[in-house]
Structure 1
Amino acid sequence: MKGDESGAETKQPEAAWLDSHGRTFGHFIDGKWLKPGGRESHASRNPATGEHLAATTQGTSEDLDAAVEAAAKAFESWSRLPGHVRARHLYNAEQLSMEGSIPAIHSQFPAFGDTPLGLHPPGNTVVINPAGPTRLSALLLAEACTQAGLPAGVLNVVTGDGALGEALAIHPGIKQVAFAGDAEVARALRRATAGTGTKLTLQLGGKSPFVVFESADLDSAVEGVVDATGWGGGGVGQWNPGLFLSRGAGAQLLIQESVVGDFTHRLKRRMGQLRVGDALDKAVDLGALADEAQRGLLEGYVEEARAEGAEIFQAWAAFPSGNPYYPPTLITGVETSSRCVREEISGPVLVVLTFRTPKEAVTLANNTPYGLAASVWTETLPLALEVAHILQVGTVWVNGHNMFDAASAFGGYKEIGYGRDGGKEGLYDYVRPVWETPPRPSVGEMNYKSFGVSYGANVPPIPGKDGIPLSVMSALGKNVPSVDRTYKLYYGGAQKRPDAMCSRPVLDHAGKIMAYVADGNAKDIRNAVEAAHKAAPGWARRAAHARAQIVYYLAENLELRRVEVASRLAALTGASSEDALHEVDLSVQRLFHWAAYSDKYGGAVQETPLYGAALLCREPVGVVGVVCPDDSPLLSFVSLLAPAIARGNAVVMVASECSPLPALDFYQVLDTSDVPGGVVNIITGGREHLSRVLAEHQDVQAVWYFGTQEGSKFIEWASAGNLKQTWVNYGAERHWADPTQGSGEEFLHHATQCKSIWLPMGETFAN
């Protein structure tokens, strides 16, 4: 287990820093220490030895108010500094940490260190509520940054438990929340911040598939497993959940059947050579558990797998009890339905599954709600690239694992959260368009159970009653009525009757009935989502140039019907003929604009220290639900539809409740423009009822909502179910005719998700 060599660091710098503060810490607010009286304390201990390091303070709402006030005050000056001046401050802080002035207390700060430093460059100020085991590191960083010249109030640290963190998230002075941690806590934060206008980014835990093909260098792959699982983490307290969750250290091993015996034999031998010990010993491979509760969780997984008939291998069967370590454990022969396969295991426990073909490997790897990262091990480059493209994760390492750099975007897909750390993509969530006023909706308490739950709750006007005129006469004669036109729904590439067989009238600007539209319900939304899911994979795989040609074709066919569409638009909205024609022309322009972007936003090469290539690939989000506004009914519909499908998504469009006809006239444009069935699906009916069904649907990856404040709040609240991405307007109007507001870069940001693919090269020419 252990050798004679020791790479232990001296503990004198840490001890001296702790002693200088009397081993009792308050908060770090406005560039100075704050030790309020009458507060509870939390003991920080070395998990390897149980040694008491220091006591930190349990913060209160008053402490949060002070920190947020300090950050708001500092923001006024910090955000106005030239970018170069802020860069100098960050450079000085970076040099201080690189020169070793920040010792490795627990060495766990990297779990969240990227987040606050990622906030500073755009000019934001920060209040951190660190996890329990990382409090000392956060306090040390704040003090060190201040010593490096960072202005007071830019970086503030308030220590406390999870309840304090939730209070910070919903504080009215907070505009953005970045969270790394447990999925259930993330769901609670999403619900707590719903409708407040506070932006939220999430980096959650999960299993990272480690896929070993028969063409892999098996010895290198074994070392990769050690790195991926944290067994060779340099004794950095690897099994603290903070570091584990932030860096995707947990892995699930997928091995091709032809080499499973050879590979597991090599892996078991390597497991027996691991070293355990104190986190500050650089020669140590495996650090201590965070606490005894973690041991109980690990033993529960292992014993449950054993009871199911799995084979359990532990590197040190006679591992002494009563110590803070857990033996590296390999579980084989387990079913995919087992809990140890389905759930994240935060500890040195590795589960092995086998596969026969690459397709089976990808199916197993993607059969999970997680999507943080994966590694692919093969010497066959075409296979590696194809698998990397198909894996539903935010980062793929080829013949390597746990490679990170600040220039490369890191984040997850699916229920791993949204938002990115690193690269240009890591800054998007911390800035806003210059035209946008920070939303501060005034929506109070609302009944989530009743919102939009009733089908047909908003009773449509009935002809002949309530002053609603009957259908107008036709041009054939005074006593010859016009033919009522009833629009159907559109999904799966065809017009469909609504499930409830109900329609609702649409009134023109004068209050007369202009047409009838289908009154869609939950079943219609489910049918549309199913059609979108069938179409989405093929549409995403279609060449970008081919998608562009189809969107151009949409523009051509809309242009052919320019006068007809404008005439109906003018009759519906009361706009002048010139204004209606202008809206149609702008809609054609939008289609041209996004058609051009179909093949011009695919990604980039990220400049990292890697000897090789770190690719950034922008991929479709998947199935996107879009709830359209009532204003500019044609232009807003096209402005939301075009970027989504141009970037490879399939959409379920909920047309404007008041003015749905321009969207429904688009049926014939779609049918004559070679759009594959299911790529565009259009549902009409009560906006709030249909929005509720979309937001609660577990197979919808994102919802764009442009409606009321109440609706925006519900969409964000309901999205916590599968942590789907949301884009809402909080009831604010958007000027769709404006090029920036109606076709800005934020549309691309919401229509795509980025994947980083790391491709190391050989060493033939490395020197």
Structure 2
Amino acid sequence: MAGTTTETVFNIFRSMESGPAAPSSTATAQAWLDHHSRSLGFYIDGKFVHLAERKSFSVLDSKGGQVCSVLCAEEGDVSLCASSAVSGYKSWSLLSGYQRAKVLLRLVGVLGLHAQCLSELSQLCVTACSPPSLIRLLQFYSSWAQLRDTLVSGWSPLGVVAVITSDESSIYSLMLKVLPALAMGNSVIIVPGRSAAPPALLLSQLFSAAGLPAGVLNVLTGSDVTFGVKVAQDPSIRYVTYSGNKPDGLALLQASAGLGVPVAVSPCIGATCPFIVFESADINSAVDEVIEAAFKKKSEVHWVLCVQESVYENVVDRLKLRLAGLKCVSLQSEADRSLVDAAVQEAQQQGAVLIQPCAAPPSGAQYPPTVLCGAAPASPCVVSPAPGPLLPLMTFRCHKEAVAVGNHSPHGLAASIWTEDLTLALETAKNLSVGSVWVNSHSVCDPCLPVCAHKDGGSCTDGGQEGLYQFLHPSVSSPPPRSSPVSLDYSKFGTEVSPAIIPDPTSSPPSYLQFVGGKACKSVSGCSVAVRSPGGSSVLGLRPEGGRKDVRNAVEAGIKDQPGWQKKSPSARALSLHSLAKGVEAKRRDLAASVSNQTGVSADEADKEVEQSITRLALWAAYCDKVQGGSLPMPKSGSAFSFPEALGVVGIVLPDESPLLSMVTLLGAAIASGNAVVMVPSQKHPLPTIAFIQVLQSSDLPAGLVNIVTGNRDQLTAALANHSVIRSIWYWGSAEGCQYLQYTCTRPLKTLRLVSQRDQDGSVDWTQPSPSFLEELWRNAVQWKSVWIPTA
């Protein structure tokens, strides 16, 4: 036909032009908003609540127009909502797993009927939402609601859970926390960000329509994250989980310090993730997907393109070809435009070369997709990227350098690897310090995949069976009691001076040493403190008074030997733990004497504690090769699997009760998982741990794997909290110490296990711990990695 132009397949793949988008309509969402007079209240006790004399905020669309107004809750509203959630929890937790599963499955049908309204409302509010993804979430967690008592036996729901998100979080991130909490039998109070507030309110209404009992799911809205703190302060809340940007998450952690409620943070917004392209990759596919991920999709993360030097020019040529014709991307505000301009100028000053489809407009909240070729690894556009369409490009020469460049980000959230060499892909995935790895793909989300950011990327695991445990506690124990923050000067915590030793010519007590880097040694300060008998009438010995430098030396020793210990096979680690148990048997008499002298128990009871310690080490040896993850049932064509990895260096401040048995229980959980440890003995009963040094000296453990630093508990706790390498701290101590750790362990973010001995003295039976308690310890000692490999 005259005038007809025919595009060849070759030209289509070269241009990768998209067809015209179908016209979108928001009529259904507009009708729902009109039904509510475009003024949305709270959702409490199964119905909308409109309270007079409440301030409100406006939800804006992508063009700055007002979509609706949402009320800002006050403290009295929090109490009303919490009371409703407590009543809802009582009725919801008493239902069988089958009954809870039926409610969640009914919601699948309800959501299918109203998916268009939800999708349109999310589009209006400029928040990401995919109804098919939410339906998949519902199907997955309804099954876990059915199987909780069978496959997660020995665990009970926490109670009332607060789920808080920042303004940028998607509905999927919100529901990834709400649905498992409900499936495990908890009630939930949602505190959504501004853009997610209307869709969250609509979803709550749909939950009620599906038969969810009143009060089980409630929504409170506030002006900013400070309102989330008010919710966390309510004494009915048993757990707080947050998803969003990191500054708001850290503010929530610090503001809730001392409340006695666990707070888990998933700072998924703004993380930098490597997009690694090897020379063996399908370059066309890799370039197309990185442009899709960086410029065409609204993403919660920033990508950094890492290209092998041998294909650098090829990748740059294809980037120029694919970028041609792309339009400017809208930014949130002109303030963001200023940040983007500054980041681009600084990158250019450091030698980066720009690739842009067009020149940036002189003003306005728009900017063209931009590739920064040759960006420096330390450049702000790589470390802390501006909120705009910027894609830094760095190069590497070999596999080891690719891993080093990929691990440069402090966030450790995810990575995308592109290569046709499966061995290379798996080796790279294993060595990257990230929680999710996608091979020849990116941004693959499914509820069966655990999401656990490594390094400074978060303090909890979402998704998969692993993500259920944050909403459960061992049935044999109760959730920690709530408390009130104490007046604490954080800058002076742990700075008190230990009492001086007054010489006594009538006695010469033995002097003990601490254990650092495989050697028994004095403290750096050279000072010692008396260890007294249970009644305080006599001095049993002198222990070293360790400090910050001793902790630093211990951590350095742990860093040196932990990677080699982690790479050992599980069976090899098990053999070392069995050898450690034999060492305890060989020193049985000395260890029993130290327990008896220090705690005042009888010789028989002390010997029994040594026997139980031997058994406990053997138990952890058996754990080494039994819980190792496995394949995951993804609905897509491909292979997915997850596996646990060691945290790194763990700091443990030991409890006073059963000093030998509790020590080997916590030590075994940490090193069986591949970690190195820095242990601080009980300040009240340090001798059994000091006597254990004899066992360590004759063991075959790597020299720096286990370190024991004695001294003032608060001083050493402060040293552990402020060390940037320590990934996790397990603390048994004062309420002030718990509050200090919650407030301080935010930069970098550490995972914490805190027990206030004032409130929970004797709550753990170390002689007969439940299987769920031991499993909880093991789960506290690992972080999860998931890998997805498509096959079609």
The verdict on a shared fold, with TM-score over 0.5 as the criterion, is yes
Query: Which of 119, 133, 136 is 1:103 aligned to?
Result: 119
Give the structure 2 partner of residue 283 of structure 1.
none
Does the aligned pair in 1 maintain the 2:518–2:703 contact within 8 Å? yes
* Cα 1:291–1:154 shift into 2, 3 Å: farther
* Cα 1:2–1:66 shift into 2, 3 Å: farther
Query: Which of 130, 141, 150 is 2:203 aligned to?
Result: 141
User: What does the per-residue CA deviation read over 1:204-252, in whole Å, with 9 as the maximum and x for residues that have no partner?
Assistant: 13101111111111112123213432x333xxxx2xxxxx43xxx3211
Q: Aligned to 1:487, what secondary structure does the other structure show? A: coil
Q: Aligned to 1:755, what secondary structure does the other structure show? A: strand
Query: Which of 65, 71, 74 is 1:60 aligned to?
Result: 74
1:208 has 2:273 as partner? yes
User: What does the per-residue CA deviation read over 1:585-644, in whole Å, with 9 as the maximum and x for residues that have no partner?
Assistant: 000011000011111122121111132221111000110000011221111111111110
Equivalences for residues 248-397 of structure 1 within 5 A: 249-274=301-326, 288-317=330-359, 322=364, 325-397=366-438
User: What does the per-residue CA deviation read over 1:447-488, in whole Å, with 9 as the maximum and x for residues that have no partner?
Assistant: 233554325x24166465xxxx953xxxxxxxxxxx632111
Distance in 1 separating the partners of 2:492 and 2:528: 22
Give the structure 1 partner of residue 532 of structure 2.
507
Does the aligned pair in 2 maintain the 1:255–1:353 contact within 8 Å? yes
Following superposition, the deviation at residue 371 of structure 1 comes to 0.7
Distance in 2 separating the partners of 1:227 and 1:413: 25
Q: Aligned to 2:554, what secondary structure does the other structure show? A: helix
Does the aligned pair in 2 maintain the 1:639–1:743 contact within 8 Å? no
Give the structure 2 partner of residue 517 of structure 1.
543
**What's the TM-score, normalizing by structure 2?**
0.87
Following superposition, the deviation at residue 151 of structure 1 comes to 1.7
* Cα 1:195–1:50 shift into 2, 3 Å: closer
Query: Which of 190, 194, 212 is 2:253 aligned to?
Result: 190
Give the structure 1 partner of residue 486 of structure 2.
445
Give the structure 2 partner of residue 153 of structure 1.
215
Query: Which of 8, 27, 34 is 1:12 aligned to?
Result: 27
Aligned residues: percent identity?
37
* Cα 1:730–1:441 shift into 2, 3 Å: farther
1:744 has 2:774 as partner? yes
Give the structure 1 partner of residue 40 of structure 2.
25
Give the structure 2 partner of residue 477 of structure 1.
none
Distance in 2 separating the partners of 1:32 and 1:668: 65
Distance in 2 separating the partners of 1:603 and 1:470: 60
* Cα 1:413–1:517 shift into 2, 3 Å: same
Does the aligned pair in 2 maintain the 1:210–1:376 contact within 8 Å? yes
Tell me whether 507-516 or 535-544 shows the greater mean CA deviation: 507-516
Q: How many residues were matched structurally?
A: 721
Give the structure 2 partner of residue 480 of structure 1.
none
Tell me whether 488-497 or 97-106 shows the greater mean CA deviation: 97-106
1:87 has 2:127 as partner? no
Distance in 2 separating the partners of 1:156 and 1:435: 29
Following superposition, the deviation at residue 508 of structure 1 comes to 2.3
Query: Which of 461, 469, 472 is 1:420 aligned to?
Result: 461
Equivalences for residues 325-724 of structure 1 within 5 A: 325-449=366-490, 451-454=492-495, 457-459=497-499, 462=502, 464=504, 470-471=506-507, 484-510=509-535, 511-724=537-750
User: What does the per-residue CA deviation read over 1:699-749, in whole Å, with 9 as the maximum and x for residues that have no partner?
Assistant: 111110011222122122211221111101122132211222896101111
Distance in 1 separating the partners of 2:35 and 2:750: 47
Q: Aligned to 2:235, what secondary structure does the other structure show? A: coil
Give the structure 1 partner of residue 165 of structure 2.
none
Q: Aligned to 1:224, what secondary structure does the other structure show? A: helix
Query: Which of 178, 185, 189 is 2:241 aligned to?
Result: 178
Distance in 1 separating the partners of 2:18 and 2:274: 31
Does the aligned pair in 2 maintain the 1:550–1:675 contact within 8 Å? yes
Give the structure 1 partner of residue 291 of structure 2.
226
Q: Aligned to 2:266, what secondary structure does the other structure show? A: strand
Distance in 2 separating the partners of 1:669 and 1:742: 29
* Cα 1:315–1:119 shift into 2, 3 Å: farther
Does the aligned pair in 1 maintain the 2:260–2:484 contact within 8 Å? no
Does the aligned pair in 2 maintain the 1:639–1:742 contact within 8 Å? no
Following superposition, the deviation at residue 41 of structure 1 comes to 2.2
Distance in 1 separating the partners of 2:83 and 2:342: 45
Distance in 1 separating the partners of 2:553 and 2:473: 36
Distance in 2 separating the partners of 1:631 and 1:119: 33
* Cα 1:598–1:448 shift into 2, 3 Å: farther
Alignment RMSD: 2.1
* Cα 1:318–1:493 shift into 2, 3 Å: closer
Distance in 1 separating the partners of 2:372 and 2:199: 34
Does the aligned pair in 2 maintain the 1:470–1:513 contact within 8 Å? no
Tell me whether 433-442 or 202-211 shows the greater mean CA deviation: 433-442
Q: Aligned to 1:759, what secondary structure does the other structure show? A: strand
Amino acid at match of 2:86: A
**What's the TM-score, normalizing by structure 1?**
0.90
Amino acid at match of 1:232: K
Q: Aligned to 1:128, what secondary structure does the other structure show? A: strand
Does the aligned pair in 2 maintain the 1:29–1:157 contact within 8 Å? yes
Does the aligned pair in 2 maintain the 1:250–1:347 contact within 8 Å? no
Distance in 2 separating the partners of 1:446 and 1:486: 37
Does the aligned pair in 1 maintain the 2:583–2:698 contact within 8 Å? yes
* Cα 1:502–1:451 shift into 2, 3 Å: same
Does the aligned pair in 1 maintain the 2:523–2:550 contact within 8 Å? yes
Does the aligned pair in 1 maintain the 2:598–2:688 contact within 8 Å? no
Equivalences for residues 26-41 of structure 1 within 5 A: 26-41=41-56
Q: Aligned to 1:126, what secondary structure does the other structure show? A: strand
Distance in 2 separating the partners of 1:509 and 1:427: 43
Does the aligned pair in 2 maintain the 1:210–1:252 contact within 8 Å? yes
Does the aligned pair in 2 maintain the 1:59–1:159 contact within 8 Å? yes
Following superposition, the deviation at residue 264 of structure 1 comes to 2.1
- Alignment gaps of 5+ in structure 2: 1-15, 128-170
* Cα 1:569–1:115 shift into 2, 3 Å: closer
Give the structure 2 partner of residue 165 of structure 1.
228
Following superposition, the deviation at residue 318 of structure 1 comes to 6.2
Does the aligned pair in 1 maintain the 2:327–2:357 contact within 8 Å? no
Does the aligned pair in 2 maintain the 1:624–1:649 contact within 8 Å? yes
Does the aligned pair in 2 maintain the 1:2–1:274 contact within 8 Å? no
Q: Aligned to 2:437, what secondary structure does the other structure show? A: strand
Distance in 1 separating the partners of 2:232 and 2:352: 43
Distance in 1 separating the partners of 2:787 and 2:260: 33
Does the aligned pair in 2 maintain the 1:705–1:727 contact within 8 Å? yes
1:758 has 2:783 as partner? no
Does the aligned pair in 1 maintain the 2:524–2:546 contact within 8 Å? yes
Does the aligned pair in 2 maintain the 1:443–1:709 contact within 8 Å? no
Amino acid at match of 2:533: D
Does the aligned pair in 1 maintain the 2:410–2:456 contact within 8 Å? yes
